[in-house]
Structure 1
Amino acid sequence: MIGRVIDVRSTTIRVALEVGARGFTKVGPDGLQTVGVVNSYITVPAGAHRVVGIVTAVYISGRQESKDRVELLSQDDTAAYELEATVVGRFEGDTFKSGLTGYPPLHAPVQAAAPLQVKNIFHPKGGPTLRIGTSAVATEQSVYLDANLLLGHHCAVVGSTGSGKSCTVTAIIDGLLDHAIPNGHIVIFDINGEYAQSFPASRGRGKKTRPLILGPRPGTSSGLFLPHWFMNNEEHLTLFRASEGVQAPVLQRSIADARVAGASTNTELLRLQNVLSSVAIIEGAFSNTRTGSDTSFAQLVGLQTLVDGQVSQTSACSAQWTQIKRILDVGIPQAGVQNVEWTPLTAPQRDVLARMFVKIRSHIQAALGILGMGSAHAAPDFDAPVYYSLQDLCDIFLPNRIQLEQSADNKIAGYVATLQMRLSRLLADGRYDFITRVEKHSDPLGSYLKALMGVDPTGGKSDSEWPAADAYRAQVATHGSGPSVTIFDLSLVANDVLENVTALLGRVLFDFAVRSDPRAEHPLLLVLEEAHRFIPSQRELSGSGSRSAAVFERIAKEGRKFGLSLLLASQRPSELSETVVAQCGTVIAHRLTHEADQSLLRHATALSSRALLDQLPSLAQQHALVTGVSTGVPVAVRVRDVDDPPKSDDPDFMSTWGDAEKLPGLADHIDQVVKDWQGDAPSN
């Protein structure tokens, strides 16, 4: 016994230490024990169980003696030694369980937790465990986390720059690799290009896994590409910044039109659009008071030729083409338009042509409906990941849809002009070619998901159409039989499109998990480095939030039941979405000095853990506080050492600056960086 309870509160107990324990060590049945050290553990009887507390503070308070006693006493004799502990759970027999069923009475005897009890606290029973490190107080005692609870309830690793976050993420992966998990799947979003070096093929972690590095230079040759046709409706609207009033509906129908054409032959569609274009040109000549007859004559001759050729072919819209031919055969002679320069169309000619065009447009609308592109017909699924050409969307389908909608509102073209400009600018920007100019290939979505999940996207075929087949084959030559680790090196992705990329990747993985049957058949761990970049807390002035944040908030709330787990790493947790932080069942907190970051964790963690978070500003490198469902109690831990850590070490400025031999190579270094930076850009 080291003392007795003198104060009991809802989350804390206060203990008066005995004389023999004041030296902060005591000899007992289990040998010499440390007493009253912050982060050590105590036990107190409470009915049939023993309450477990973690020491959070130690005090020395003076003791008042009666005035009539005049004795020469030492400071130790006149001082009372006390400690305060946060209650974290209970022992039922030898089994530790979180939560309380009762509180200890006053004067209850207090004991330091024996080594066997500490071991039972740090080594969860009932399932596979993950060794995260050793106790910061009992350095000989390893600390384990419940692997299923860690993965099933998400995990956040937070801490200031240089505190050891990336190594902790790697330590968690190493802890998972301590088990035989050949069907494991890990996807890492690496924004700083740190993790590629952690999975060398010739070293331990690389031999235990099947790593695939995609990037860093965006493009099909490196495997870092993301076809634009994978985007759903919301992602299209976000990337093109289409306003809700007019631009969004027009863009939606244009993309639906393009998907239909992309999924089948678009020859007939192009001819229908040609007819509409010729009609528009002739109608434009109606208001020309100086000329018009020659232009209209040429267009009518061309129309007649095009329609006659189409009628002779079998097509889905044969009946409509036949009707259009009959209209032209009757209407053109009645109009009597001559090939005469500088002659305007007469009123009777305009009247005949106008009535003819009304009938032609009605049949074109019917034909577009048959092809699935009519305004009055249901469009295909806006979210279906079906191929379409973004260039054709810009050049053909969007202008055609604008022309069709002009009949209802002649201001449509003006409303959509900025959208057309943004789309053209996006296509002209080579930084986005890895999204906007991915060529059509067989089974694009299936191949992409197979690559992410560690399955051969080429199907073992030497003539595979998968764009990154060569990069894949080069990396898998040394693969063993361990879990797949797919690393997206996003370090060179343009910042203004990074959110769109991560949102799309996250949503594709989530949709795959949701659609999998049976549910959670192939669980996946998604690691987000610098997660505050993907899941920001800020909201736009309109009240809408980040598209990427919305995706990962949904994964945080619903991903567990579908087998999709998040492992977040961030140096600024206060800039993370509070929704996501609150959904993380386990928090591993390294040194944090900013009050806002500490405050967020206090609100996001269990009540019993909050007193421990006062230690955050003073934690040493590689040390952390672990709280949550995967650990029996909040624990101060020294994270295990890792080989081949991520490339996140602080640079050695003074050593590098003092190396005179590096200076002559600076010019070549700059030239190489500039060459890689400019890529294939032409030089002046």
Structure 2
Amino acid sequence: MSEVGVIGRVTSVQSTTLRVALDVGAKGFTKVGPDGLHTVGVVNSYITVPAGAHRVVAIVTGVRIGPTTDHGERRTLRSQDDQSGYELEAAVVGRFEGESFKSGLTGYPPLHAPVRSATRSEVKSIFLPKDVPSLRLGSSAIASEQDVFLDANLLLGHHCAVVGSTGSGKSCTVTALIDGLLDHSIPNGHIVIFDVNGEYAQSFAPGTGRGKASRTLVLGPKPGQDDGLFIPHWFMNNEEHLALLRASEGVQAPVLQRSIADARAAEGSTQQDVTRLQIIQSGISIIGQVFGDAKNSEEPTYLQLRSMRELIADQVRQGGLCKVQWQNLQVLLEHAITNSAVRNVKWSLLSAIQKDVLSQAFASMRAEISDAFGVLGMGSAQAAPDFDAPVYYSLQQLCDFFLPNRIQLEQASDNKIAGYVATLQMRLSRLLADGRYDFITRVEKHTDPLGSYLKALMGADPTSGDVGSDWPAAPLYRDQAADQGTGPSVTILDLSLVASDVLENVTALLGRILFDLAVRSDPRAEHPVLLVLEEAHRFIPSRTETSGSGSRSTAVFERIAKEGRKFGLSLLIASQRPSELSETVVAQCGTVVAHRLTHEADQNLLRHATALSSRALLDQLPSLAQQHALVTGVSTGVPVAVRIRDVTDPPKSDDPDFISIWRDAEKLKSLPKHIDRLVADWQGE
């Protein structure tokens, strides 16, 4: 062939797949081009083919060799190489318009079109986004001198997934991506990491490069207010309460919802109103039962009326939200006592007229009591405060007072309510009795709880500079703030010691709070956040049915995956079992960094979630070396095999050196003390 740099001709065009017959001069898999020697026919290398006004770019996915038959030539003695044909198979990934690389196709090359290896300048143009912020992920697995860059805005704006079997380098890749972001000057950057294995704190320690380049706050690992890993239960919305307490939809859910609304609405003085209104209700019911006493009804009625009079008079003197209703009750009761003329006489029966007077008065009093509950926000017919409002209430008081009170109120319409809700009450009591959940159920009331919590997550000072702040983790924040750098905020939530049966509730609540913050932000996306989810399959499991395990947590992150982009909330998920992840979340990830995956189900999920041109590349996944990955998606110009950049101070995810540790006799001597120390902490001693 006379054309410079041509390595072969197109022999087949099918959808996004090209077949190329290499010319005989390329049989050694090298070719001299205008800018030097090129490797030809190597998987993951790139070729270009003219297609109209543009040049199509394709990545080599397969190489084969086979015999050829030349019918028109005289049979001569030839070597095996001379009798063989060389063929490439390549997946089309984009096009060159002039010197600019663009993803996607506008036309296909014709048969017999000349094929060239991509030049170094062309490869550089593919891997280095122009006129956009980019981050360096690593180097090309084929051309080690060529760095691979990702479009930072497309990476963050369309979510990213890092997947691979354990030990393949996922955590280091996540760290490399964060390092690529830290290479930029982004003082208003915000990164929140859900670290379920306790790996990242050491990577962002004050003495490390990352620690100096960021404002890092580590919350945890021990759940509790002192370590900053606490989540006030009153932050939970309606659905999260129901999920935590597993309230059934029939009766338990409505009763629990209204009980929590009662608790949110109630204050210290309000609780006394509620208690005394219940006492008046109880007194009226007792007198109604006495009506049927055939031996002695007047004396107990007299005693009940007099005690009710004293209680109402005392409440009228104290005032309160429903003072008017108490005054009306006082007038009605005085009228009943005067007109009924009930005496303190033992073994005397109430007359029919006395019963009639009292019955009419009690009917009016019940109406006033109902109005009083309405004023307090606890009436059955009145609208309660926002069920989802993150307003403080005591979970202990919910268990001891507001839930039983709501049950009593609802008993008027169905006397079986108490039986239906009994199991819910038991679950609530067990939750309060279990110390593992104290970081949720027993968080002390403090000033501006929601505001201070969001400030901590976003890297701002939760104490607002107040040395007397009552924020529960104020000392922890001050200690860490003294060593913080000046770059973007990195908040690490070390969830490694959180009980597994509540982990989904915790992560769902944290994710929902961040999403609500983003949605309510005006102007939109004023403070974008990158949310990093390590071992994401643990709290974003695939949902085979709506009532399946993890459905609440999965629903939260599916919504973030679908809607978070426009509000400035981006996901970076890492998982060793992508097939166990919600398919919706994986499908919404615009960039996928895939390390070694051996399980067929994991590979199939990625095939369905990635672009057509990338699927052939995924056949390489079982054989990828450590620290190597395939990168596909919107943030990279083409699918590319990458050697991930080296990271200093990597996350604490290295495999243990068994033999070296087993050889250390000194460690054997320290084993008993090690166990004693661990058990003391385990048992809370």
Q: TM-score, normalised by structure 2?
A: 0.95
Mapped partners of 2:349, 2:240: distance in 1? 48
Q: Is residue 12 from structure 1 mapped to residue 17 from structure 2 by the alignment?
A: yes
Q: What is the number of equivalent residue pairs in this alignment? A: 678
Secondary structure of the residue aligned to 1:91 is strand
Indicate the SS of the match to 1:539: coil
Counterparts of 1:89-488 in structure 2 under 5 Å? 89-262=94-267, 265-279=270-284, 300-332=305-337, 334=340, 336=342, 338=344, 355-488=360-493
- Residues 539, 545 of structure 1: 8 Å contact kept: no
1:620 is aligned to 2:625: yes
**1: CA distance, partners of 2:595 / 2:296:** 79
How many angstroms apart in 2 are the aligned matches of 1:602 and 1:17? Answer: 29
3-state SS of paired residue (2:648) = coil
For residues 86 and 284 of structure 1, the distance between their equivalents in structure 2, rounded to whole angstroms, comes to 86
Give the equivalent residue in structure 1 for 2:648: 643
Letter in 2 for 1:500: N
Unaligned runs of 5+ in 1: none
Aligned residue among 489, 502, 510 for 1:497: 502
* Structure 2 counterparts to residues 57-96 of structure 1, below 5 A: 57-65=62-70, 69-96=74-101
SS in 2 for 1:162: coil
The alpha carbon displacement at 1:409 in A equals: 1.5
Whole-Å Cα distance in 2 between the matches of residues 292 and 493 of structure 1?
60
In 2, Cα distance between the equivalents of 1:178 and 1:298?
A: 81
Structure 1 residue 113: Cα displacement: 0.6
Shift of 1:242: 1.4
Cα shift at 1:6 = 1.3
Q: Deviations over 1:49-103 (max 9, x none)?
A: 1111100111111123559955321110110011111110111111100111111
- Which residue of the partner structure matches residue 603 of structure 1? 608
Root mean square deviation, CA, Å = 2.3
Distance 1:302 1:225, change over 3 A: farther
Confirm or deny: 8 A CA contact 1:189 1:487 kept in the other structure: yes
Paired residue type of 1:583: Q
User: 1:126 Cα deviation (Å)?
Assistant: 2.3
For residues 34 and 379 of structure 1, the distance between their equivalents in structure 2, rounded to whole angstroms, comes to: 73
1: CA distance between counterparts of 2:184 and 2:326?
A: 67
Q: Is the 8 A contact 2:539 2:550 kept in 1?
A: no
Whole-Å separation in 1 of the counterparts to 2:74 and 2:293: 120
Contact 1:159 1:165 in 2 (8 A): yes
Aligned to 1:573: 578
With over 3 angstroms needed to count, the CA separation of the structure-2 counterparts of 1:354 and 1:191, relative to structure 1, is: farther
Partner of 2:3: none
**In structure 2, distance between residues paired with 1:565 and 1:606:** 20
Offset of residue 318 of structure 1: 2.1
Secondary structure of 1:2's aligned partner:
strand
Look up the match of 2:55.
50
Please give the alpha-carbon distance, in whole angstroms, between the structure 2 residues aligned to 1:543 and 1:220. 32
> CA shift at 1:360, angstroms?
2.3
Contact 2:138 2:642 in 1 (8 A): yes
Distance 1:361 1:167 in 2: 68
Task: Supply the AA of the counterpart residue of 2:192.
Answer: V
Aligned amino acid, residue 93 of structure 2: V
Give the whole-Å Cα distance in 2 for the aligned partners of 1:169 and 1:427.
37
Identity %: 73
Equivalent residue number for residue 659 of structure 1? 664
Show structure 2 runs of 5+ residues with no match: 1-5
Of 590-599 and 229-238, deviating more is 229-238
1:288 positional shift: 8.3
Identify if the C-alpha distance between structure 1 residues 71 and 471 changes in structure 2 by more than 3 Å, giving closer, same or farther. same
Structure 1 residue aligned with 2:595:
590
The residue identity in structure 2 corresponding to 1:211 is T
C-alpha separation in 2, matches of 1:106 and 1:661 = 72
1:138/1:254 CA distance change after superposition, 3 Å: same
Distance 1:570 1:284, change over 3 A: farther
- Where 2:231 maps in the other structure, the secondary structure is coil
Instruction: With the length of structure 1 as denominator, give the TM-score of the two structures.
Output: 0.95
Comparing 606-615 with 237-246, which one deviates more in the overlay?
Answer: 237-246
Shift of 1:640: 0.5
By how many angstroms is 1:292 displaced? 8.7
Distance in 2, Cα, partners of 1:13 & 1:258: 68
Partner of 2:543: 538
- The alpha carbon displacement at 1:270 in A equals 3.5
CA contact (8 A) 2:270 2:376 kept: no
The one-letter code matched in structure 1 to 2:509 is: L
Instruction: Decide whether the 8 Å contact of 2:543 with 2:549 is kept in 1.
Output: no
Per the alignment, do residues 531 and 315 of structure 1 end up closer, same or farther by CA in structure 2, a change over 3 Å counting? same
In 1: Cα distance, 2:384 partner to 2:622 partner: 57
**In structure 2, distance between residues paired with 1:288 and 1:593:** 81
Q: Which moved more, 1:284-293 or 1:657-666?
A: 284-293
Structure 2 distance, partners of 1:659, 1:414, is 61
CA, structure 1 residues 278+544, in 2 after alignment: closer, same or farther (shift >3 Å)? farther
The 1-side partners of 2:323 and 2:401 are apart by: 23
